Structure formats: C-alpha cells, structure tokens
Amino acid sequence: MSSPTQAKEAVIVVHGLWVNSMIMRLLGYRIRRCGFDVTYFSYESARATLEQNAARLSRFAAALSANTLHWVGHSMGGLVVLRMLEQNADFRIGRIVLMGSPSSGSYAARATAKTAAGRWLLGHSMPTHKINASIGGRCEVGVIAGNRGLGLGQLLISGLPKPNDGVVTVEETRLRGMKDHIVLKVSHSGMLFSSRAAREVCAFLKDGRFSRR
C-alpha cells in the first residue's frame, strides 16, 4: 500500500481479481499527469471476502489526509469500492470511476463457479449479496465498459453474452443511478493500458462526465 498523501484531492486506484496494484501503474501515471495525487490499494482478491477487503479499503482511506478522495476501480476492484461505500458514508467521497466492473452480477463468475477448479480459483471473492443499487444515486459514478471481446476469458467462458470485453458484458457494468456510462473498443485488461480510457477517467474525475473525444 502507498503511504498517506497530503494532497487536497487524491485518487485511490483499486485493482481487480488475481492481480496486484502493479497492473494499475500505467493508468495511475496517466491520472497523475492530469493533476491528481494517486495512491494504490493492494488486497488479497481471492483469499479474503469482498466484505473483508472493503473494510480494509475503508481503513486505508481513513489514513489519508486528502480533503477529497476519488476512486478508480477495475473489475472486482470496483465492487470493493462500492461495497466499502455501502458500509461508510464518508463526507470526503469524491467521484468514482468503475472500469469493467460487473456491478449487476457476473456471468463469467457464475460459469466459473460451476466447477471445483473454478471455485478454487475464485476463492472467497464472490459477493455474498448484490451491490446496493442506491450507491449510484448518492455518489457521482462514471462507468467505462469495453466491447472488444478478446482475451483468455473468451476462451474459457462459453456463452458469454455480447457485447462484452472478454470477461464482463456491457450490460453487467450498468449501475442504477450512475451519472455517465461509456463503451470503448477495449478488452477487459486492455482498458488499463488504453490512453483513451485514461483520458475518459480523468475527464470524469474532473468534470463528472466523460469527454467522448
């Protein structure tokens, strides 16, 4: 985990399943170039439950001294952010960008969980209950989805509804009450390395809407 920041506005970047914060570094670098201080939250994505990781994220955020905290979560990282917001009404909460996060459920996770090997891979990461749809109504949430169905997930998951990013369908990314939603021609992991996606993240963090440029 990064050390606490003294910035007035900080962006907490949260990675997804089976990876660590290193995969978010290029995106974080690009967000920093937009003028934000960036800090990274690392967590045990499969060994701990979503609730446990959300509680850890809350404690991590509490140690930061920034006046406003913005959030960028990729895939399951976005679910960790949303679950944390269910548990806490932090007055410092700024804007939130979800990138390829299956806020309304995950076909891929349900399909993977049908086998013993799949359940082992998922570990304790599966949500025990659905994300509270009211989160989108009380926070400024922007959602980025991908429609480039490429990657290992496309080979392992049969019957994934289209359009999708190879792991998460566009429909699964929709959160009721979200302020803006955009679909980019990127894959699930590819969105983390896309300069266009990074520009849209920065646009929403600054203006509360995507630029679509």
| pLDDT tens digits along 87-132 | 876 668 899 999 999 998 888 888 887 888 777 777 676 765 566 6
DSSP state at residue 49: -
Average of per-residue pLDDT values in the chain? 88
Residue 3 confidence (pLDDT): 45
- Quote the CA–CA distance of 123 and 126 in Å, as a whole number: 8
Q: Predicted confidence band at 138 (pLDDT cuts at 50, 70, 90)?
A: confident
Helix, strand, coil tally for the chain in percent (to 5): 35, 20, 45
| Mean pLDDT on 30-46 | 94
Kindly list the domain boundaries of the chain, sorted by start residue: 9-207
**Looking at domain 9-207, which CATH architecture does it have?**
3-Layer(aba) Sandwich (3.40)
Phi/psi for 15 (5° steps) reads -80, 175
pLDDT over 60 at 180, yes or no = yes
- Quote the CA–CA distance of 207 and 199 in Å, as a whole number: 12
SS (H, E, C) 75-144: CHHHHHHHHHHHHCCCCCEEEEEEECCCCCCCHHHHHHCCCHHHHHHHCCCCCCCCCCCCHHHHCEEEEE
State the pTM of this model. Answer: 0.91
Query: Closest Cα partner for 169 from 104, 98, 122?
Result: 104
151: Cα within 13 Å, side-chain hemisphere: 19
Residue 159 confidence (pLDDT): 87
- Quote the CA–CA distance of 193 and 188 in Å, as a whole number: 10
* Tens-digit pLDDT profile for residues 197-211: 999 999 999 999 999
Residue 152 confidence (pLDDT): 61
Q: Predicted confidence band at 4 (pLDDT cuts at 50, 70, 90)?
A: very low
